[in-house]
Amino acid sequence: MRQAIASRFLILLSVFLLILSAGCESRSTTANTSPSGSNTSEQKAGEPTEDAAGKPPADNAAPGATATPAPTAPTAPAAPKDGNAEGAAKPSQAGEPAAQEAAVSAVQFISPTEGWAGGPGAVLHTKDGGVTWEKQYGGSGNVESFSFLNSSTGWALMRPLQGSGSPAQDGKPAPAVLLHTVNGGAKWTELTNSAPISKSFRFISEKEGFSGSRYTSDGGATWTSLPVPANIKGEPFYVSKDLGWAVTMKQPDYQIQLTKDGGKTWKTVWTHATVSQVTQAVIQATNAQDVWVLLIGESGMSQTSYTLLHSKDEGKAWKTVVAHSTAGGGPAPGYKTEEQVGPKGPGTKPGQLVAINSDTAYLFGECPPCGDYGTVSAGWTRDGGTTWTNGEQQIPGLNAQASFISDKQGFLLAGSSNMTSTLYKTEDGGKKWTAVQSFGKKGS
């Protein structure tokens, strides 16, 4: 009896060992052998995959069962379109190529974060202070300037590029294409392809706009001419359809004139003898009483003389804010050689004038022979012209365009024909300018 039991046990043990041996051999073949017979890391259909940590799935899965995939990392929530939600994913850098591909020369910001830039065949838009940009519009012309009333409503002035078949005539710029948007640039509409206006255009409402002596009352679709006085230098500045300022030159004096009836009659509110000719004038008024006047004199040796005047009382009294005489351009307009009645301004020639209010104004100066590409620097007053400060920082480039959103916060775009344009920002009223983004490629 005992012998029979022992015999049966040995038979069962032998069967168990045979089954165990066959299972091990099958598992070894599946795990280590490729169809070519060599060890390879190439995954084949039906083979187990590695988990997220690089380990194979457990070997104790039931035969025929599919291994459970390793959990994947959670996907970060998509950034909202305005990019301002707290905790949102990092904004896409798609704007970087847009900035690098477009060479821009025009800029306007309406807040510390939102602004537009333009150049040959492009309108770019930013919502993060100029760090990243998206392309909103592409065309065959060159976008020279903007006028935005708010984050939705704005206009862009685009002029044909040189050699495009629409050259300037009689010394006047080629007719401009005026673009308009009512949704922040998501869509730009061509209002007219023959706007007779300059890049110093501006809108004061959704219907009314000015560019020198040109006036529109239908949002830019059509333009009419307002009267100007004889012997005018530069463009007039109309505060409203009735109130306007102009500078005239009738030797040996220059005159500052005012109209209150839409240019029908002009009254001389200031006249002064001058040694140097007034060749151009730039005027900016911040309200009906307050006006800043830049008189541009003669030039020579990459130098141009200039004078900046200011009145807070509709021209009854004037303050000489800057009197910038140069060796090449002679005395500042309105003054004699060696006569210094005001501080010197920035640069060797004047650049853009930006009047903020009756107390604060900026004047940018340029120095073409300075550095490899020329330089731009800023000067300012914060007390209506009683004192003047020239900033120390020299920014590479020329033909700078500035856009201020307050008396202290602003942006500046500077470049030249042989260097990329760079956007700078200031938060301390021009004392320090920090580079934000470069546009285009060298030589573009």
pLDDT digits (tens, 9 = 90+) for 198-256: 999 999 999 999 999 999 999 999 999 999 999 999 999 999 999 999 999 998 999 99
Residue (of 94, 76, 93, 95) closest to 85 by Cα position: 76
**According to the model, what pLDDT value does residue 96 have?**
58
The model's confidence at residue 19, banded by pLDDT at 50, 70 and 90, is very low
Q: What is the pLDDT of residues 168-213, one digit of tens each?
A: 545 566 779 999 999 999 999 999 999 999 999 999 999 999 999 9
Angstrom CA distances, 125 to 70, 108, 109, 175, stand at 42, 10, 10, 25
Cα 19 to Cα 28: distance, rounded to the nearest angstrom: 15
The model's confidence at residue 156, banded by pLDDT at 50, 70 and 90, is very high
Residue 130 pLDDT greater than 70, yes or no:
yes
Domain coordinates of the chain in residue numbers? 226-396
**According to the model, what pLDDT value does residue 441 have?**
60
**According to the model, what pLDDT value does residue 25 have?**
39
Cα 35 to Cα 3: distance, rounded to the nearest angstrom: 49
**According to the model, what pLDDT value does residue 341 have?**
87
Q: Which residue has the higher pLDDT, 301 or 47?
A: 301
Cα 3 to Cα 1: distance, rounded to the nearest angstrom: 5
Neighbours of 111 (CB within 10 A): 13
Residue 64 pLDDT greater than 50, yes or no:
no
